[in-house]
C-alpha cells in the first residue's frame, strides 16, 4: 500500500534523525573506527573533497552544537563554561572545547581548522591546534576571506588545492579528476533539488515544513562528510522530499495539522531547543517559520571543467553558500539584502531576529536589520536569546514574546 | 606609582594619549593637512603617510558610556572596546578626520565599517581592508592585493599619487619609530626602570595620534632623557606582563602599579604587538614589503590561525628577558579571539609554574573595586607578600 504524505515525511525525519547520530560526539568516535582515513575539522569542511577521496570527516562545532541538546545539556554547557573560556563564547564552540578538555575525542589523521564563520570557531581551531594528544597530528589551516570577489574565491580555491595535496600526502588517497567530477555533479544535483524544494515551499499554504531544507542540506554536507556512502543516500532523501512536496503543492495541501496564518523569518540558527518552540507556534498560532540561516540556500554550482575550476567554484560555494558563513563572514549588504529577498520570496509577514548571544555578526547588525525591515514594512522583533542554552531565554518566554508581537502587529 | 619622570616631551605624550583631538592634530588640520583614521594595528600607517596624511588610530579614549553605539551594537554581546570606539565616532569625536580605513582584525572591528556607513556620520572616505587569518606567502599576496586596491582608491579619492619613493620614506620613518619604541621597552629590563608601564602606554598611544616626524623626534629626545635617568630605589613588589587586546589607555597599568606591581612588558594591540620588528627597506615593491611585514613578520594576533605557538614563544621570551614574576591575561567581555588565546596560554603558563591572573573586564575601567582586590591579591601572591 502506498504511504501517505505524512508517513513519507515521518519516515524522512526518522531517517534523518538516525543519520544525525553520526554528528554527535559518539558519532565522531565511531567515524574514527570506520577504517578510512579520518579528519577532524573545526567547521564545515566541504564534503565534496573527503567524499571523492573516500575519507571520513567530523566537524567539531557540529558535535558541540549537538551536545547542547538532549538530556544533561545544561550540565554540559555549565562544565564547558567552567573551563575558563570567555563567558559569552558561543556554547557550541564551548562544547567543542569541552570535548577536547574531557579527552574523549579520538586521534585523527589530520586536523583542518578555519576562521569561518567567526572568531569563536577560529579560537576552537587554535585549541585543536594546541591540544596535546594531537600534537603530532598533521594540521592544515584554511583562511576564509571576508570578501566576496573573484580574488577572494581564487585565494580560497588556492588554499583548497594545497589542502588536497596535504590530505593526499597524509592519507595516501588521491583526488582524481574523474571522481571529483562525479561527486561535484552529484553535489550540484543535490543543491539543485534543494533549490526546487525551496521554490515549492513558497506556495501558500506552505506544503511542508521549510526546515526540511536544513535537514536535507545537513545530510548532504555534514553527514555525508562522515561517511561517503551517506552522500549518495542524501540525493535519494532529497528527491523523496521534493516529490512529496510537489505532490502536496499540486493538491494545495499545507503542513499537516497547521492552519497557516503567519509566515515568519527566524534570522539565525535554528535553536537546539527549537522542538519546544516551533511546533507550538505552528499549532497554536498557525505561525510557520519559513527560513532560518540553515534552511535558506543559494545555488552555487561547481564548475566541472577542470580540477582548478572545481576547486575555485567549491571555494565560492563554500564562502557564499554555506549557511552562517554567508551571514557572518561578509558585508552587511549581503546580510540585509537576504532579509528583504527572503521576506519577499517566501511572503514572510515578520522577521524575528534571535540575535544569539555568541553571534557577534548579528549582534553588530541588529540596527541595520531593523532599519531594513522598517524600510520594507516588515514587522521586526529582536529577541536576544541563546540558541544553544534554553535557560538564557526559555522557549516559553520566546513563545510569549512572539505571540504578543504577532498580536500587536495585527498578524 | 609614577616613575617621577620629569620630561616635557613625556608630558606632551600624556596629553595626546589621554584624549582624541589634540593641538598637534588640530594644527596639522588647520594647515590643510589631511588625517586618515584607522582601526587595528594591521592597517599600515605607512600607506597614509605616503599619501601625505596623518594616520590617526581610532580609539575609545574618553568615552564614559556607549549609549549611542549600543543602538548599533548589542551591548551585552559585543566587546565594549568596539562599542566605546564607535560611540566616539557617533558623538563626533572623529569629525576631524578625512577618512577612515577599517581593518578586519576581529569580527567586532570588521563591523564598525558597516555601521559607520549606515550612521549619520558622513566621513568623506570610508574603506576597509580584509586582513588574512593566515601567515604564509599566499596570505601575504592576498593582503598585498588588498593594499594595492586601497592605494588606488585613496589616490582616486584624494587626488594624490602614492609613489614607491614616498612609501619607502614612510617605511623608513615608521621603522625608526619602532626602533626607538623598542629601545624604550628595553629600558624596562632594568631592575629599576626609568619608566613605568602606564607611562609607556601613553608614549606608544601618542605615536598613533600625532604627526609622525614630530613623534619620531620627540621619541628620540625622550629616549635620551630616559637613558640618563638613574633610579636606585626599587619601588615595586612584583614585575608584571600584560597580555590581551587593545590596551589604549593606562588604566589597567595604573591599577597594577598603584598596588605595588610594575608592568614591565605587554603583548597587546596598542603595545608590544605594534612595535614588533621592522619592514624590509629594500626590494622592488614597498607595498609588498609592508604586506610581508604585517602577514609574515608579526603574526602575533590570536585571530591568526596557528598563531598560538608564536604568541607563546613571544610571551615566554619576554618573561625571561624582562624578569617577569607574573602575567595578567586580560580579556574584554565578548572578545572571542583573546578569550581563547588567554585560555590556552593560562594552561601553559601554569604548567611552567608562571603565575597568571585572568581578568575579564569591560573596556572602561569604571568599576575597579573588585578588579583592584584581585590584582592586589595577585601581586601579594607573586611577590611573596614582602616589599
Q: Is A30 on the interface with B (CB under 8 A)?
A: no
A1-256 architecture in CATH? 3-Layer(aba) Sandwich (3.40)
Fold of the A258-297+331-411 domain: Rossmann fold (3.40.50)
Helix (H/G/I), strand (E/B), else coil: A142 = strand
Question: Residue A272: is its pLDDT beyond 70?
Answer: yes
Of chain A residues 68-97, which have a CB less than 8 A from chain B? 83-90, 97
Nearest Cα residue in chain A from B135: A143
What's the sign of the alpha-carbon dihedral A213, A217, A222, A226?
A: positive
pLDDT at B113: 96
Question: Residue A106: is its pLDDT beyond 80?
Answer: yes
CB-side exposure of B14: number of CA atoms within 13 Å?
16
Provide the residue ranges of all domains of chain A, joining segments of one domain with +.
Answer: 1-256, 258-297+331-411
Q: Is A216 on the interface with B (CB under 8 A)?
A: no
Nearest Cα residue in chain A from B340: A123
CB–CB of B78 and A360 under 8 A? yes
B23-163 architecture in CATH? 3-Layer(aba) Sandwich (3.40)
CA angle B16, B22, B28 (to 5 degrees): 120
CB–CB of A86 and B138 under 8 A? no
- Taking only the tens place, the pLDDT of each residue in A31-51 is 999 899 999 999 987 899 999
Q: CA-to-CA distance for A158 and B202, rounded, in angstroms?
A: 43
pLDDT at B6: 85
Q: Is B140 on the interface with A (CB under 8 A)?
A: no
| Strands A380-382, A287-291: pairing kind | unpaired
ipTM summary value: 0.94
Nearest Cα residue in chain B from A89: B336
Q: Is B245 on the interface with A (CB under 8 A)?
A: no
Nearest to A84 among B107, B145, B358 (CB): B358
pLDDT at A26: 94
Q: Is B274 on the interface with A (CB under 8 A)?
A: no
- What residues of A are in contact with residue B82 (Cβ under 8 Å)? 364
Nearest to A88 among B139, B333, B343 (CB): B333
pLDDT at B250: 86
Domains A1-256 and A258-297+331-411 belong to one CATH topology: yes
For an interface test with A, the pick among B77, B146, B344 (most A C-beta atoms closer than 10 Å) comes out as: B77
Q: In the structure, what pLDDT confidence band is assigned to residue A2 with cuts at 50, 70 and 90?
A: confident
- Taking only the tens place, the pLDDT of each residue in A237-267 is 999 999 999 999 999 999 999 999 999 999 9
CA angle B140, B144, B145 (to 5 degrees): 120
Q: Single out the residue of B83, B72, B63, B157 nearest to residue B118, CA to CA.
A: B72
pLDDT at B387: 41
Q: Is A122 on the interface with B (CB under 8 A)?
A: yes
- What residues of A are in contact with residue B111 (Cβ under 8 Å)? 332, 360-361, 364-365
Task: Give start and end residues of each alpha helix (H) in A219-349.
Answer: 224-226, 228-250, 278-285, 307-316, 325-329, 332-345
Share of chain A above pLDDT 70, in %: 100
Locus of grid cell 629590563: B189
Question: Residue A390: is its pLDDT beyond 50?
Answer: yes
Q: CA-to-CA distance for A293 and A268, rounded, in angstroms?
A: 5
Provide the residue ranges of all domains of chain B, joining segments of one domain with +.
Answer: 23-163
CB–CB of A85 and B360 under 8 A? no
Question: Residue A83: is its pLDDT beyond 90?
Answer: no
Question: Residue A174: is its pLDDT beyond 50?
Answer: yes
pLDDT at A354: 97
Q: Is B335 on the interface with A (CB under 8 A)?
A: yes
| Contacts A–B by Cβ distance under 8 A | 154
| Strands B34-39, B99-103: pairing kind | parallel
- What residues of B are in contact with residue A142 (Cβ under 8 Å)? 305
Q: Is A123 on the interface with B (CB under 8 A)?
A: yes
Q: In the structure, what pLDDT confidence band is assigned to residue A17 with cuts at 50, 70 and 90?
A: very high
Mean pLDDT of chain A: 96
Q: In the structure, what pLDDT confidence band is assigned to residue A87 with cuts at 50, 70 and 90?
A: confident
CB–CB of B305 and A113 under 8 A? yes
Q: Count the residues in chain A.
A: 411
Nearest Cα residue in chain A from B347: A84
pLDDT at B299: 75
Distances (CA, A) of A264 to A289, A344, B356: 5, 11, 48
Q: Tens-of-pLDDT digits for all 387 residues of chain B?
A: 777 788 999 999 999 999 999 999 999 999 999 999 999 999 999 999 999 999 999 999 999 899 999 999 998 899 999 999 999 999 999 999 999 999 988 999 999 999 999 999 999 999 999 999 999 999 999 999 999 999 999 999 999 999 999 999 999 999 999 999 999 999 999 999 999 999 999 999 999 999 999 999 999 999 999 999 888 788 899 999 999 997 788 889 999 999 999 999 999 999 999 999 999 999 999 999 999 999 999 878 999 999 999 999 999 999 999 999 999 999 999 999 999 999 999 999 999 999 999 998 889 877 678 889 999 999 999 998 544
pLDDT at B175: 98
Amino acid at each position: 500500500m502506498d504511504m501517505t504524505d505524512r508517513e513519507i515525511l515521518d519516515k524522512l525525519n526518522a531517517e534523518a534523525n538516525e543519520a544525525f547520530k553520526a554528528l554527535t560526539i559518539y558519532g565522531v568516535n565511531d567515524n574514527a573506527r570506520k577504517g578510512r582515513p579520518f579528519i577532524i575539522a573545526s567547521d564545515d569542511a566541504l564534503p565534496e573533497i573527503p567524499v571523492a577521496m573516500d575519507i571520513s570527516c567530523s566537524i567539531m562545532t557540529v558535535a558541540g552544537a549537538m551536545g547542547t541538546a538532549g538530556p544533561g545539556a545544561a550540565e554540559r554547557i555549565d562544565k564547558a563554561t567552567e573551563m575558563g573560556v570567555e563567558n559569552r563564547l558561543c556554547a557550541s564552540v564551548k562544547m567543542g572545547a569541552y570535548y577536547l578538555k574531557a579527552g574523549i575525542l579520538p586521534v585523527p589523521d589530520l586536523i583542518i581548522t578555519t576562521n569561518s564563520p567567526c572568531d569563536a570557531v577560529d579560537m576552537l581551531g587554535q585549541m585543536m591546534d594546541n591540544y596535546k594528544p594531537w600534537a603530532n597530528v598533521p594540521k592544515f589551516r584554511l583562511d576564509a576571506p571576508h570578501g566576496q570577489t573573484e580574488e577572494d574565491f581564487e585565494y580560497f580555491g588556492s588554499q583548497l588545492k594545497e589542502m588536497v595535496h596535504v590530505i593526499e600526502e597524509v592519507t595516501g588517497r588521491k583526488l582524481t579528476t574523474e571522481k571529483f567530477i562525479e561527486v561535484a555533479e552529484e553535489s550540484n544535483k543535490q543543491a539543485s533539488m534543494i533549490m526546487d524544494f525551496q521554490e515549492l515551499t513558497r506556495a501558500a499554504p506552505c506544503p511542508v515544513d521549510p526546515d526540511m531544507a536544513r535537514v536535507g542540506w545537513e545530510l548532504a554536507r555534514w553527514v555525508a562528510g562522515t561517511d561517503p556512502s551517506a552522500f549518495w543516500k542524501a540525493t535519494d532523501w532529497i528527491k523523496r522530499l521534493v516529490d512529496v512536496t510537489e505532490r502536496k503543492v499540486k493538491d494545495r495541501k499545507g503542513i499537516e495539522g497547521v492552519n497557516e496564518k503567519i509566515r515568519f523569518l527566524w534570522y539565525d540558527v535554528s535553536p537546539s531547543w527549537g522542538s519546544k518552540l516551533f511546533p507550538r507556534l505552528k499549532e497554536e498560532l498557525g505561525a510557520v517559520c519559513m527560513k532560518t540561516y540553515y534552511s535558506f540556500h543559494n545555488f552555487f554550482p561547481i564548475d566541472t571543467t577542470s580540477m582548478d575550476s572545481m576547486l575555485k567554484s567549491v571555494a565560492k560555494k563554500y564562502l557564499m553558500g554555506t549557511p552562517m558563513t554567508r551571514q557572518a563572514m561578509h558585508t552587511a549588504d549581503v546580510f540585509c539584502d537576504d532579509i528583504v529577498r527572503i521576506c519577499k520570496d517566501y511572503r514572510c509577514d515578520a522577521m524575528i531576529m534571535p540575535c544569539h548571544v555568541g553571534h557577534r555578526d548579528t549582534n553588530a547588525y541588529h540596527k541595520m536589520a531593523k532599519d531594513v525591515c522598517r524600510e520594507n514594512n516588515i514587522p521586526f522583533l529582536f529577541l536576544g536569546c541563546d540558541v544553544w542554552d534554553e535557560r538564557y531565554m526559555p522557549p516559553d518566554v520566546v513563545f510569549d514574546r512572539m505571540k504578543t508581537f504577532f498580536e500587536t502587529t495585527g498578524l | 606609582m609614577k616613575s617621577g619622570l620629569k620630561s616635557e616631551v613625556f608630558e606632551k605624550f600624556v596629553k595626546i594619549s589621554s584624549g582624541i583631538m589634540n593641538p598637534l592634530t588640530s594644527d596639522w588640520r588647520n594647515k590643510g593637512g589631511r588625517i586618515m583614521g584607522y582601526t587595528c594595528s594591521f592597517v599600515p600607517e605607512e600607506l597614509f603617510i605616503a599619501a601625505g596624511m596623518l594616520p590617526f588610530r581610532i580609539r575609545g579614549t574618553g568615552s564614559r558610556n556607549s549609549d549611542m553605539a549600543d543602538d548599533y551594537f548589542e551591548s551585552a554581546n559585543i566587546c565594549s572596546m568596539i562599542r566605546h570606539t564607535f560611540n566616539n565616532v557617533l558623538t563626533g569625536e572623529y569629525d576631524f578626520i578625512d577618512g577612515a580605513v577599517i581593518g578586519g582584525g576581529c569580527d567586532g572591528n570588521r563591523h564598525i565599517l558597516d555601521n559607520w556607513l549606515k550612521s549619520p556620520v558622513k566621513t568623506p572616505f570610508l574603506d576597509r581592508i580584509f586582513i588574512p587569518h593566515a601567515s604564509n606567502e599566499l596570505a601575504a599576496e592576498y593582503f598585498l592585493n588588498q593594499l594595492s586596491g586601497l592605494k588606488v582608491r585613496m589616490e582616486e579619492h584624494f587626488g594624490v599619487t602614492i609613489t614607491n619613493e614616498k612609501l619607502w620614506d614612510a617605511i623608513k620613518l615608521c621603522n625608526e619609530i619602532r626602533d626607538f619604541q623598542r629601545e624604550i621597552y628595553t629600558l624596562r629590563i632594568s631592575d629599576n626602570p626609568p619608566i613605568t608601564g602606564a607611562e609607556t602606554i601613553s608614549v606608544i598611544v601618542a605615536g598613533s595620534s600625532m604627526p609622525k616626524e614630530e613623534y619620531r623626534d620627540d621619541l628620540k629626545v625622550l629616549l635620551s632623557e630616559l637613558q640618563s635617568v638613574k633610579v636606585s630605589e626599587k619601588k615595586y613588589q612584583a614585575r608584571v606582563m600584560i597580555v590581551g587586546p587593545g590596551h589604549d589607555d593606562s588604566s589597567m597599568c595604573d591599577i597594577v602599579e598603584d598596588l605595588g606591581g610594575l608592568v614591565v612588558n605587554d603583548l597587546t594591540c596598542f603595545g608590544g604587538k605594534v612595535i614588533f620588528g621592522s619592514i624590509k627597506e629594500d626590494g622592488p615593491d614597498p607595498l609588498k614589503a609592508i604586506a610581508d611585514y604585517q602577514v609574515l613578520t608579526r603574526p602575533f594576533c590570536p585571530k591568526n590561525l596557528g598563531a598560538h605557538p608564536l604568541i607563546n614563544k613571544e610571551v615566554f621570551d619576554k618573561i625571561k628577558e624582562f624578569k617577569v614574576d607574573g602575567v595578567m591575561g586580560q580579556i574584554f567581555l565578548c572578545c572571542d579571539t583573546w578569550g581563547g588565546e588567554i585560555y590556552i596560554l593560562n594552561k601553559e603558563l601554569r604548567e611552567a609554574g608562571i603565575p597568571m591572573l585572568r581578568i575579564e573586564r569591560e573596556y572602561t575601567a569604571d568599576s575597579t573595586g573588585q578588579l583592584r582586590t584581585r590584582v592586589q591579591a595577585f601581586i601579594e601572591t607573586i611577590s611573596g607578600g614582602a616589599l
